[in-house]
Structure 1
Amino acid sequence: MPLEFSHTTLGQRVLFGAGQAASRLAEEVQRLGAQRIMLIASASKRELAQRVAAEIDVVVNYDNVVMHVPIEVAQDARQVARKNAVDLLICVGGGSTTGLAKAIALETRLPIIAVPTTYSGSEATNVWGLTEAARKTTGIDDVVLPTTVIYDAELTMSLPVELSVASGLNGMAHCIDAMWGPHANPINQALAAEGISALATGLPAIVQDSQDLAGREQLLYGAYLSAVAFTSAGSGLHHKICHVLGGTYNLPHAQTHATVLAYVLAFNMDAAPDARDRIAKALGADDALEGLQQLRAQLGAPDKLTDYGFTEADIVEAVKIILPAVPASNPRPVTAENLTELLQAALVGDDPAVLLESPASGPHTL
C-alpha cells in the first residue's frame, strides 16, 4: 500500500535537564521579555514552585488549583490575571495546574511556561478542558499550548510511587490511544511506541527505587512523547471514556486512566492488528494485553473503578454520555451493549481479556 498521510507538528520549545529548572526558567523569562508574571501552583506545591521561581520576580501567586478545572475557578483565575496586568503564566505542577493555566490562556491569550512535576503530558498538548455542571468539555486551540516546557526530573522525586505509577500509566494511555486515534499516522505511532518503551522502562525502576533519577527521567521523556503523539492523533475511545468519568463523576484523573487502559486495549486491539503488534513490541512482549497486564501487576497499578467512587448505578448514564463522543474511526465499532460490558468489567476489575473481540461476532454499529 502507498504511504500517504498528513501530520502537524506543534511549535514548542522543550528544555530537558535534571537540576536546571530554576536557571532555565530565568533564561526563558528573560528571552520572552516578561515583566508581570503569574505563578500558578497548588498549595501543596507552593514551596517547590517558589524554589523553581527563585531567580525571577513574580507579581501574583495563585494556588486555587482544582481537579478537572471547574469553570468557576477558571473565571476567578482569569480575573486575577487581568487585574494584575499579567503578561506571562508560569505553571508548576501536574495536569490540573497546567489545565488551569490553559484555561486562563484560552481567554486571555497569555503565553505559558509549563514546569511539570508529574507525567500527565498536558504541558505538550494544545488540548484544554473545563468542567461545568458535572460535564467536562474539551477542545483544541493552539493558544493554550505552552510556549516552553521545562522538564526537570528532580522536581518529580517527591511524587509518591503510587501516584507516579498512575501518572505514568496515564501517559501510556496517551500512547496507546494515539495508535488508533482519529488522525493516527506513522509518525505519531512511532512516537507513541517509543513513549511506551520509555514508560515501561521507567516505571519498574522507580517502583524498585523511588529515588532512581534515571528512571524518573525516562518517565518524563515518555510522558512528553506520549503527549506529542496523542495531540497529533487526536482523542480516541479511551480518552472519551475517561473524560466523562472524570468530569461527570469526579473520578481522579490519573487513576481513572490507569484503570481503564487495559480494558480499552483489550476491546480494540484485535480490530487493529498493526497497532496491537507495535504495542506488544514496545512493551517487549509477545502479546500486547499480556505485556501490559504483566507490567501492571509488577507496578501494583490501579485496577478497578469502584476504588474511586464509580458505581454500577452510574453505568447507564455514563454510556449515554460517552457513546455520542466515540470517534467513528475507532477500530472496533462501539455499541451501548459492548460499552456497558467494558465499563462493568473496569468497575470491578474483571480480567480485561473478557473484552477481546470474538472472530465470530457480527458487525456492530456506532
Structure 2
Amino acid sequence: MRFTHETLAQRVILDAGRSLEHLEAQVAHLGASRVMLVAGGSASSYADRAAVLLPVVLRWTEVVQHVPVAVAERARAAAADTGVDVVVCVGGGSAVGVAKAVALTTRLPVIAVPTTYAGSEATPVWGLTEDRRKTTGVDPVVLPTVVVYDSDLTRSLPVDLSVASGLNALAHCVDSMWAPRSNPVNQALALEGARALAQGLPHVVGDPMGTPGRDQCLYGAYLAATAFASAGSGLHHKICHVLGGTFDLPHAPTHAVVLPHVLAFNAPAVPDQARRLAIALGRPAGLAGPDDDAAAAATDALAALRQAVGAPRALRDLGLPLDAIPEVAERVVAAAPATNPRPVTGPAIETLLRAAWEGADPRSQS
C-alpha cells in the first residue's frame, strides 16, 4: 500500500437547532467585527435572525447558481467597499459559491451554514461561469474555516429537492472511488458517506420533518465532500460541470440524473470498488466470491435507492435540448481525467448522455 493523503483543516459542528448560538460563538472566536452575510431568498428569514446577533455590515442577497463572474465581481467590490473581515454564508451550494468567490480574491475567512446537502462547504474547490463555460479551481483560501450544520435548517427544503441534493452528495462518494487522487483514506470516507446517505434519504422522504434522517444526510454529505476534496473531480463531475455551466441546468437534479449512468459506465472496470460501494449502499447479498457481478450489484443498489426516494430521471426534464448532446460530449471528452477507469470517447459519452436525456435504465446501457 502506497499513497499520499492531505487532510484539510476545518472546524465542523453538527448540532440540530443550535446553529445561531454556534454561529455567534464562532464569529467571536475569529475576532471578527464586520460581517458580510450572504443569503438568498430561501434563507432570508434565518439571515434576519442571524443579523440581530452578528455585527453585520453588509447583507448580500444576489445568489446565483454556478456563480457568474459578474456576480462574483460585484460581491467582491461590495466586500472591499464595506471593509468586511469575515464572510458568513447561509444556504446551499450557490451561497457557498458566492462566499468562496469573495474569499478567492480577498482571502477573507468564511463561515458556512449549509441548508442543503451540496457539500461545497467542505471543499477548497471554487467555480465560476462566464460565456457558457464553467471554470473550477482549487485553492485552500476558499475552504470555509468553520462549518455549522443544523438539520432544522434543511426541513424547509422540499422533499424532491432534498432527494436531488442528497444524490448530488452521493455523487461525490461515487466519483471519489476512482477520481485522479483516489486513495484508501478518501475511499473509506466516501463509503461511509454513501452508507449514511443511503440510510438517511429514505427517512427524509418518509418523515420530512424528522431530525434523524436529516442528521444522517448532513453527516453523509460532509464525508462525501471531504472525500471529494481529497480525491479530485472525476468523470461524473466533468459531465455535470459542462451541463451546468454551458446550459444552466439545475445543479443538484443534474447530478442526480447523471449519477447512475456514470456508475454503470465505470463500475465494470473497477469491480473491487464496485463491490465495496454496493455494500455501502445496502446490497451485501451475493458479494462473497470473486465470480459475483459487483458492477451489477452496485448499479442495482443505486437503482433501488433511487426508486425508493423518487429520484429525477431525465435530462430532458431539466431543459437540455437533444441536439446539445454532441457539444456536451465534445467538451466532456476534452475535460475528462486520463485516469478514468474506462476510455472516455465521444461515441461512448454521447451514448451515456442520450440515455440520461431519455431517462433510460442505465443498466441496459453498460
In the superposition, the TM-score normalised over structure 2's length comes to 0.96
Asked whether the 8 Å contact 1:114–1:150 carries over to 2, the reply is yes
Asked whether the 8 Å contact 1:40–1:62 carries over to 2, the reply is yes
Q: Displacement of 1:261 after TM fit?
A: 0.2
**In structure 1, what is the equivalent of residue 222 of structure 2?**
224
Asked whether the 8 Å contact 1:49–1:92 carries over to 2, the reply is yes
SS of the residue 2:148 aligns to: strand
Q: Displacement of 1:322 after TM fit?
A: 1.1
**In structure 2, what is the equivalent of residue 246 of structure 1?**
244
Task: Deviation per CA, 1:83-128: give whole Å up to 9, x if none.
Answer: 0001000000000000000001101111000000000000000000
Taking the aligned partners of 1:53 and 1:152, their CA distance within structure 2 comes to 17
**In structure 2, what is the equivalent of residue 350 of structure 1?**
360
Q: Displacement of 1:284 after TM fit?
A: 1.1
**In structure 1, what is the equivalent of residue 181 of structure 2?**
183
Taking the aligned partners of 2:346 and 2:96, their CA distance within structure 1 comes to 33
SS of the residue 1:48 aligns to: helix
**In structure 1, what is the equivalent of residue 289 of structure 2?**
none
In the superposition, the TM-score normalised over structure 1's length comes to 0.96
Taking the aligned partners of 1:82 and 1:239, their CA distance within structure 2 comes to 32
**In structure 2, what is the equivalent of residue 363 of structure 1?**
none
Taking the aligned partners of 1:88 and 1:18, their CA distance within structure 2 comes to 24
**In structure 1, what is the equivalent of residue 11 of structure 2?**
13
Q: Displacement of 1:311 after TM fit?
A: 1.7
Amino acid at match of 1:143: V
Amino acid at match of 2:333: L
Superposed CA RMSD in Å reads 0.8
Taking the aligned partners of 1:54 and 1:348, their CA distance within structure 2 comes to 48
Taking the aligned partners of 2:208 and 2:108, their CA distance within structure 1 comes to 36
Task: Deviation per CA, 1:15-34: give whole Å up to 9, x if none.
Answer: 11111111101111111000
Amino acid at match of 1:238: H
**In structure 1, what is the equivalent of residue 349 of structure 2?**
339
Asked whether the 8 Å contact 1:21–1:52 carries over to 2, the reply is no
Instruction: Give the alignment partner of residue 31 of structure 1, picking from 29, 34, 48.
Output: 29
Instruction: Give the alignment partner of residue 306 of structure 1, picking from 288, 312, 316.
Output: 316
Asked whether the 8 Å contact 2:42–2:91 carries over to 1, the reply is no
Taking the aligned partners of 2:337 and 2:194, their CA distance within structure 1 comes to 23
**In structure 2, what is the equivalent of residue 73 of structure 1?**
71
Structure 1 runs of 4+ aligned residues shifted over 4 Å read none
Q: Displacement of 1:53 after TM fit?
A: 4.3
Amino acid at match of 1:67: Q
Amino acid at match of 2:145: T
Taking the aligned partners of 1:275 and 1:48, their CA distance within structure 2 comes to 41
1:293 is aligned to 2:303: yes
1:194 is aligned to 2:204: no
Unaligned runs of 5+ in 2: 286-296
Q: Displacement of 1:354 after TM fit?
A: 2.5
SS of the residue 2:53 aligns to: coil
